[in-house]
Amino acid sequence: MSGAPQTSDPNIGAPAAPASVARNFERVLPWAAVVGMFVVWEIVCIVFDMPPFVLPRPTVIATTLVKLWTPIMRHTMYTLWTTLIGFGLAIVFGVALGIVVGAWRVVYNGLYPVLIGFNSIPKVALVPVLVMWVGFGPIPAVLTAFSISFFPIVVNVATGIATMEPEMRDVLRALGAKKHQILLKVGLPRSLPYFFASLKVSVTLAFVGSVIAETVTGNRGVGYLMVDASSRFDGPVVFAGLLVLSFMGVGLYLVFAEIERRTTGWAHRGQDSA
Amino acid sequence: MSFVDLQDARLVYGGGGGTLAIENASLSIARGEFVAIVGPSGCGKSTILKMVSGLLPPTSGLVAVEGQRVLQPRKDCGIAFQNPTLLPWRTTLSNILLSVEIAEEHAKKYRRDKQPYLDAARDLLATVGLLGFEDRFPWQLSGGMQQRASLCRALIHQPQLLLLDEPFAALDAFTREELWQVLQSLYDKHRFTVILVTHDLREAVFLADKIYIMSKRPGRIVNETKVDMKRPRTLEDCFAPHFVDMVHDLRARIGRELEAA
């Protein structure tokens, strides 16, 4: 339900008005914050007379974005693809490993320390290793995106399965349920909210991974574009890259948040029913 | 010949040097009998249920159902716990049908023709007073309604044996009494064998034909009491002198059991 038509009901129109004003205000607030941030930024740049290589004005960044739209988009699409391929691999292998780790206690106990150890390696430190193994090009970026977004998916899927209520398991086992049936009927569905929550986190992490790799090894992608521009003290282009990255990050986050909302609404009950 | 038999069943948790949970428990339950097991908390009442259902094989001694030794989960028990454990992504109806999706004997028949099972589920829902709530999700139901649905799930596959582990312990007094009557009418209708674990003595007397008292851990069966009241029992009966005496007597026995240790 969107807020607007509520006032058309004559019975609740009058008393509901202040509430709906408050709700509209709440809805506008995030946008106002974004616009406000850019306005303050612009004013600060003008008042303190910032040189563009330190902090360019938003209007200058916007002009740069329009002027260099085609090359920037080329780099953006490149980064987007490497990110999504790495992220896709992370989903496939993360879900598979998550199921195994969550369903078998032995695997959980045996593999957990290794996983923690692997995850605590700063992923930027992997890039030189990857370059050594596979050379330059898109593959280091894909693999870095994969390695950084893989772990949250594994942990969340495994948690969702492993935290099944013992009573639920008993009810099914008393009916003669096999392990795979319990997994299919209860374990997997109940891990879905955990899975989608991890996707929202992971997709932004995947961006971090691919951009890090691009800044170190790349000759294409937004990360490369920004490093290249900063070596020429081209502030507006660096910030244009930042802006594009944050738009992509927010966009992908929203896509997965929406998928989550549609598929696992039962796990978030009561939040939008008020 | 009894339907459920325990002879000197003993259970040690956690292998060799583990905790002794059940010691030399013996009991026998006839087909169609309603039995309650009462006792102080932590005495291993739930462990008895797990042994009977085959979820937890005894360390030594014998557990038999229908004259057959129970060595693995029995596949035809209905179980309900204090926690209703309904799946939040399934509607009430589909939660109840979960049992027939799993139980081997029904799974194929259910896939081929769902209608008889839908009818059976609606019939059960009507008996427990949940008709009209088929398409609600568990979180849209009150605690008492969830427990009613959980009972239906435990019964949809027409089990021989219904195992109840303090199913009404988390409910308020009025809802609990209402559900006693619901359970009684289900029992009158289907005549399955019931083992009810509870620490509510009034509940035990109201529902059971026979009450076993267990000692403190390690749990032993220390007393067997028959309840000779005709069915159906009404809430009014709970205030009859005979009923009150019986509860009083049980309470005294458990009190002695607690002191003895």
What ipTM is given for this predicted complex? 0.87
Closest in B80, B102, B137 to A175, CB measured: B102
Cα–Cα distance for residue pair A62/B235, rounded to 1 Å: 77
What tokens appear for B202 in the block?
Answer: 């009034």
Closest in B85, B89, B137 to A171, CB measured: B85
pLDDT below 50 — which residues of chain B?
none
In the prediction, which pLDDT does A168 show? Answer: 92
Closest in A170, A174, A266 to B89, CB measured: A266
CA angle, A25 then A27 then A31, to 5°: 100
Q: Is this structure's pTM higher than 0.90?
A: no
Q: Are A185 and A172 in contact (CB under 8 A)?
A: yes
In the prediction, which pLDDT does B101 show? Answer: 93
Cα–Cα distance for residue pair A57/A40, rounded to 1 Å: 10
pLDDT below 70 — which residues of chain A?
1-18, 269-274
Cα–Cα distance for residue pair B170/B232, rounded to 1 Å: 25
Determine the CATH number of domain B1-76+161-166+191-227+238-261.
3.40.50.300
Q: Are B11 and B218 in contact (CB under 8 A)?
A: no
Q: DSSP assignment of A67-129, as one string? A: HTHHHHHHHHHHHHHHHHHHHHHHHHHHHHHHHHHHH-HHHHHHHHHHHHHHHTS-GGGHHHH
Domain boundaries, chain A: 4-47, 58-268
In the prediction, which pLDDT does A39 show? Answer: 95
In the prediction, which pLDDT does B260 show? Answer: 72
Instruction: Using an 8 Å CB-CB cutoff, list chain A residues near B92.
Output: none
Determine the CATH number of domain A58-268.
1.10.3720.10
Q: Are B22 and B219 in contact (CB under 8 A)?
A: yes
Domain boundaries, chain B: 1-76+161-166+191-227+238-261
In the prediction, which pLDDT does A218 show? Answer: 74
| Chain B contact present for A169, CB below 8 A | no
Instruction: Using an 8 Å CB-CB cutoff, list chain A residues near B65.
Output: none
CA-based torsion, A241, A244, A248, A249: positive or negative: positive
In the prediction, which pLDDT does A17 show? Answer: 59
Cβ-Cβ contacts under 8 Å between A and B: the total is 69
Other CB atoms within a 10 A radius of the CB of residue B23 amount to 18
In the prediction, which pLDDT does A270 show? Answer: 56
In the prediction, which pLDDT does B15 show? Answer: 65
| Residue A146 backbone class (left: φ over 0; alpha: ψ -120 to 50; beta: rest) | alpha
**What's the pLDDT tens digit per position in B150-161?**
999 999 999 989
| Chain B contact present for A62, CB below 8 A | no
In the prediction, which pLDDT does B261 show? Answer: 59
Cα–Cα distance for residue pair A224/B154, rounded to 1 Å: 62
Instruction: Using an 8 Å CB-CB cutoff, list chain B residues near A264.
Output: 89
| Alpha carbon of B200: minimum distance to chain A alpha carbons (Å) | 21
Residues of chain B whose C-beta is under 8 A from some C-beta in A?
50, 53-55, 73-81, 83, 85, 87-89, 98-99, 101-104, 137, 139, 153-154, 157, 163
